[in-house]
A and B are shown apart, each in its own frame.
Chain A
């Protein structure tokens, strides 16, 4: 019976393999050649095209495909509201189909990686934003969000005329707390007497705070009305509300994750002072490149300022005057002269 199962699995895999190369004609290179690397990417809900987190991972994959000459890439996205077993099965299916590495995008895959990785010791796994799943074949792609947030906090304090600065977090989760912690330290480093107003839209497991722009607008409006003139948002899709509030209050907003002075609604781009960019694409690209060199390590890989995993953006030229000072701070963090705590 077991052998029949193996045969049938083989048949499906053969079918899957035959079509796995659709992206890249000529997928015939086999063997140890690094270009024969077959990469599986498991997205969280939304998948490629969400203009956010998943897309950042997709960018890294596309870069790798272009410049490293990868041949076989397979992307699979989650279904909304799916049970835990669906995530486990997704990773398993890719591992069985011979994909390695398998990159899981988002901490929702934590338990699934924990369960599947030990069963496929020959397969490499990477998981973004999760440090809990571990094993000899698991790499955790983490980010020093606090370091990037420190720099935009410093920029906010340098630009603020009122010495009153705001922070709007989407969901009061440990991840977003890291943004807050770094930001606060950055503000206080430049102006120890600055007043910082902090608001979170929801508490976990209610994740709607990442997708409630009106609520974010309301929170930011209150801050501007109370005298704040720069507000940093770490609130996903809710961030659009903070930008609107900044527009009507003629204040500054700070973007998050991507360079939002390029990606936000065109009408609000002019008032985005800077953005704290979190380069999921860099981490994904770097991981694949290291794997091809054979230098990839299991365990935590923290993408910080030094590795270009986090940074601040300069689009719009609003911070040209303070950029030398920010670069100075950035170097001091990189060499360890300034230590930014994660919370």
Chain B
């Protein structure tokens, strides 16, 4: 019998039409509940959904949605790596922000020219994210500290260290805004003119996001490390019995998760803002958790989740122009995550019940002739 967590994290697979039914039910749920909220607020749901559809299909909006989703997706991958072995890395948020501060400071100093500077910044972000996450991993294996608690605390500490670094070492003032020195033009990652009909370029980190998604799947499903990781996630005692060092796996997984987390701030840093200031996006790590849940840790599922999230975020302004409060976006996002969890759970239960019926029918079937003979 599978546990609820196994089902939430997608470790139990649904086959056939059930795999399609669950997300469909979730979408229907989400639309119904959002409509109810809109009606309660005195707005016409049809009008709101039409605007969303119109707005979301403009070429420029599509490019913007892609750009927002890239960071979300990388962050979700970081979270999913931990999830797959029952590690709750709530600290992706602190890991990417600290990584971005240090990498922005280093990139702004322009130690190396051009592409070398890009590589330096990216590697630096991965190393900082990995080291920061490793603290939680080591605390867990050495002292038995729950990674949920330690990563939440490390998030707060990362905020403090970040502002200390910017105000004392990296900060330059432009007008009233304090931020790191901008990364020079030669080290900007160029955009891709991917979507026809708009001058809005798609962030070059799209390529990295796709590569990471494929690597995530290959490492988890086709390597010894991935097997060990999944085995540890499913049953620690079984993993120990088959010679896996669980402690090593915890630290290694946190390091990997942190390194990927460090990357999630890079699309913004090297492709959009080129500096870390008060305007640098926050909360990417928490969005990543929601998307990992939404995509059930599946690389394609999370990509769809990230796009959906990016779409909803970008629609906030379009809705406000219709006099619909922007909070409706947060409500929709919350409702979608809940709907997905509820819908999958319903479908799983349906499957279990259907299975039981089938088995009992099969068991009952051969006994019938005997009964008839008696």
Tell me the A residues contacting B by CB distance below 8 Å. Answer: 1-2, 4-5, 8-9, 11-12, 15-16, 19-20, 22, 74-77, 79-87, 89-90, 93-94, 97, 107-108, 110-111, 129-133, 173-175, 202-207
Q: Lowest 8 A-B CB distances belong to which pairs?
A: A132-B175, A206-B163, A81-B282, A5-B197, A83-B281, A1-B197, A107-B176, A204-B178
Q: Are B176 and A22 in contact (CB under 8 A)?
A: no
Q: Are A207 and B278 in contact (CB under 8 A)?
A: yes
- The 30 sampled A-B contact pairs (Cβ below 8 Å) are A1-B59, A4-B197, A5-B58, A5-B60, A9-B60, A12-B51, A12-B58, A16-B322, A77-B326, A79-B313, A81-B281, A81-B282, A81-B283, A83-B71, A83-B272, A83-B273, A83-B281, A85-B68, A93-B318, A108-B278, A110-B177, A132-B174, A132-B177, A133-B175, A204-B167, A204-B278, A205-B163, A205-B166, A205-B171, A206-B167
Q: Return the CB mask of B51-75 against A: 1 if under 8 Å, else 0.
A: 1001101111000100110010000
Known contacts A19-B321, A83-B273, A86-B313; A203/B281 CB under 8 A: no
Tell me the B residues contacting A by CB distance below 8 Å. Answer: 47, 50-51, 54-55, 57-60, 64, 67-68, 71, 159-160, 162-163, 166-167, 171, 173-179, 196-198, 268, 272-273, 277-283, 313-314, 316-318, 320-323, 326, 329
Q: Are A11 and B323 in contact (CB under 8 A)?
A: no
Q: Are A87 and B323 in contact (CB under 8 A)?
A: no
Q: Are A8 and B321 in contact (CB under 8 A)?
A: no
Q: Are B272 and A76 in contact (CB under 8 A)?
A: no
Residue from the list A82, A87, A107, A205 in contact with B167, Cβ < 8 A? A205
Q: Are B278 and A8 in contact (CB under 8 A)?
A: no
Please report the number of residue pairs spanning A and B whose Cβ atoms sit closer than 8 angstroms: 135
Docked CA distance A5–B198 (Å): 7
Which residue from chain A places its CB closest to the CB of B198 in the assembled complex?
A5
Which residue from chain A places its CB closest to the CB of B167 in the assembled complex?
A203
B67 CB, min distance to chain A CBs, angstroms: 6
Contacts of B314 in A (CB 8 A): 86, 89
Q: Are A12 and B318 in contact (CB under 8 A)?
A: yes
Residue from the list A22, A81, A89, A205 in contact with B178, Cβ < 8 A? A205
Known contacts A74-B321, A77-B320; A8/B58 CB under 8 A: yes
Docked CA distance A89–B64 (Å): 9
Contacts of A15 in B (CB 8 A): 47, 50-51, 54, 322
Which residue from chain A places its CB closest to the CB of B180 in the assembled complex?
A205
Residue from the list A89, A93, A174 in contact with B176, Cβ < 8 A? A174
Known contacts A8-B57, A77-B326, A206-B167; A93/B68 CB under 8 A: no
Contacts of A129 in B (CB 8 A): 176
Docked CA distance A12–B314 (Å): 14
Q: Are A108 and B321 in contact (CB under 8 A)?
A: no
Known contacts A2-B197, A4-B197; A205/B318 CB under 8 A: no
Which residue from chain B places its CB closest to the CB of A111 in the assembled complex?
B279
Docked CA distance A265–B160 (Å): 31
Q: Are B163 and A8 in contact (CB under 8 A)?
A: no
